[in-house]
Amino acid sequence: MQRFDVLVVGGGPAGSATAYRLADAGASVLLVDKATFPRDKPCGGGLTTRALRQCPVDPSPVVEEEVDVVELRFRYGDAVVRHSQAPVIRMTQRRRLDAFLLDAARDKGVEVREGTTIDIAHAPADVIVGADGANGTTARGVGLGAGIVHGVAYEGNVPYGLVDRERYERRAVVELADIPGGYGWVFAKGDHVNVGVGAWQSEGPRIREHLARVCAAHGLAAGQLENLRGHRLPLRPPGVRIANERALLVGDAAGLIDPVSGDGMYECFVSAKLAAEAILSGSLAGYEQAVDAALAPLHRASWKLKYALDRWPRASWRVARTRLLWRSVERLLLGELAAPEEQHGLARIPLRALERLGRT
Ligand SMILES: Cc1cc2nc3c(=O)[nH]c(=O)nc-3n(C[C@H](O)[C@H](O)[C@H](O)COP(=O)(O)OP(=O)(O)OC[C@H]3O[C@@H](n4cnc5c(N)ncnc54)[C@H](O)[C@@H]3O)c2cc1C
């Protein structure tokens, strides 16, 4: 049987980006995915600019809308609308983005096998990369990822016509302070909007009711949504092992979703880059530490903000709606700040206030 330097299990953004970077550096890479592409993945499809900056290829051909207007609302009422100097999110559909990234990896020389699973006990490679997402089995198979916890998210699409295109053009609407452990969203795409909710996992039994309230706030009946899909949001508590001598985990398989935003594609691309660097260095020993250095400050702050919004919604909203906070949010989305703690000057004041609320 042909042997490879690296086996990547899973061809989502994390797996494709890791494989792409490895092949680009000359490694021989086998990538297997149990699905046949194009395949969909439950997701809002919001690619933040900070994610885009870490993506190894330019995904412009599959971007459907650029977002430079962010509308934050408190319990479907009081709202602030913020305009960014440059697009902060590119809206895509995962069916299109993931196929595009997988093709880019294939073009770099990665051996891609779709509709295929593999017994990792007999992996034909020196190193195994677990990139099989929130429901993957590779982590357990290589003795990693124990202790990852989960949130839950649910979303669907509504074509323009049923909703007004102009209302949502270049806009991301974020509905705060109603859904425990999360928020609702409406994201503009090419020919439809995506409507969704994220929440604590314990809200699973009520997730349809949460989505129905977000729909109602936008003049929609929940029954008007097409392609309704739910999926887990894996969250990694500090110290959870994501690498050993022969294997490492990237993206959702490593539980790297941002606890407050529910975004994970930035984390996919960051972990893919660090994984490729570790593998190419000949030792996986530094990978976990590198991931912590890159993501832990951001995720620590996100946990505090999540608790602040959940426990003190009104007080948090008073801070969240300030222009001063938007300055930091915009810089975070643009990738100018890796974490809120890098913000200096006056703009630190609302960040400190939210941090204190989150600790209380
Ligand atoms: C409803 C929802 C909305 C979201 N919205 C956003 C958003 O707007 N922006 C954002 O940045 N993030 C968002 N996220 C998070 C984002 O979707 C994930 O972080 C991202 O998909 C993780 O990518 P991944 O490559 O790690 O895993 P995945 O994209 O899940 O890919 C895993 C791949 O592994 C394959 N696989 C699984 N098991 C096996 C196996 N045994 N053998 C072979 N292949 C296997 C699967 O077929 C799949 O192709 C959202 C998540 C949810 C649930």
Q: Looking at ligand 1, which atom is closest to the CA of residue 16?
A: 25
Residues 133-161 have a mean pLDDT of 97
Distance from Cα 1 to the centre of ligand 1, integer Å: 30
Strand intervals (E) in 64-165: 65-67, 69-74, 79-83, 89-91, 111-114, 125-130, 149-159
287 part of a folded domain: yes
Q: Which of 39, 171, 163 is nearest to 101 (CA)?
A: 39
85 part of a folded domain: no
353 part of a folded domain: yes
Q: Looking at ligand 1, which atom is closest to the CA of residue 98?
A: 29
Q: What is the pLDDT of residues 263-311, one digit of tens each?
A: 999 999 999 999 999 999 999 999 999 999 999 999 999 999 999 999 9
Share of the chain above pLDDT 90, in %: 99
Q: Which residue is closest in CA terms to ligand 1's atom 3?
A: 43
Do residue 47 and residue 108 come from a single domain? Answer: yes
Tokens in use for 237? 């508590």
192 part of a folded domain: no
169 part of a folded domain: no
Number of domains in the chain: 2
297, 317, 333 - which closes a domain: 297
Strands 125-130 and 247-249, sheet pairing: parallel
Do residue 240 and residue 353 come from a single domain? Answer: no
What pLDDT, on the 0 to 100 scale, is given for residue 302?
A: 96
**pLDDT-based confidence at residue 313 (cuts at 50, 70, 90):** very high
> Domain of 253: which CATH number?
3.50.50.60
Tokens in use for 224? 């008007």
Do residue 326 and residue 293 come from a single domain? Answer: no
Strands 4-9 and 29-33, sheet pairing: parallel
Distance from Cα 303 to the centre of ligand 1, integer Å: 21
Backbone angles phi, psi at 260, to 5 degrees: -95, -40
Q: Which conformational region is residue 127 in: left (phi greater than 0), alpha (psi within -120 to 50 degrees), or beta? A: beta
Share of the chain above pLDDT 70, in %: 100
209 part of a folded domain: no
What pLDDT, on the 0 to 100 scale, is given for residue 1?
A: 78
Residues 80-103 have a mean pLDDT of 98
Do residue 51 and residue 129 come from a single domain? Answer: yes
Best residue for ligand 1 mutational test, from 30, 34, 43 (most atoms within 8 Å of Cβ)? 43
CA angle centred on 57, ends 263 and 259, rounded to 5°: 10
Distance from Cα 86 to the centre of ligand 1, integer Å: 27
Residues 125-141 have a mean pLDDT of 98
Backbone angles phi, psi at 250, to 5 degrees: -130, 160
Do residue 50 and residue 136 come from a single domain? Answer: yes
For 288, residues 6+ apart whose C-beta sits below 8 A from its C-beta are 241, 242, 243
78 in Cβ contact with 321 (< 8 Å):
yes
Do residue 239 and residue 308 come from a single domain? Answer: no
Q: Which conformational region is residue 227 in: left (phi greater than 0), alpha (psi within -120 to 50 degrees), or beta? A: left
Tokens in use for 119? 């017994």
242 part of a folded domain: yes
Q: Which residue is closest in CA terms to ligand 1's atom 39?
A: 132
331 part of a folded domain: yes
Q: How far is CA 297 from CA 109, 199, 304, 316, 337, in A?
A: 35, 22, 11, 20, 11
Do residue 42 and residue 140 come from a single domain? Answer: yes
197 in Cβ contact with 211 (< 8 Å):
yes
Q: Is residue 360 pLDDT above 90, yes or no?
A: no
Domain of residue 320 covers 298-359
Protein residues with CB under 6 Å of any ligand 1 atom: 9-15, 32-35, 41-46, 51, 117, 131-134, 136-137, 153, 155, 196, 231, 233, 251-253, 257, 262-265, 268
Do residue 244 and residue 355 come from a single domain? Answer: no
Do residue 350 and residue 302 come from a single domain? Answer: yes
Segment holding 355, helix H or strand E = helix 348-359
Do residue 284 and residue 264 come from a single domain? Answer: yes
Task: Say what the pTM is.
Answer: 0.98
Do residue 17 and residue 126 come from a single domain? Answer: yes
**pLDDT-based confidence at residue 186 (cuts at 50, 70, 90):** very high
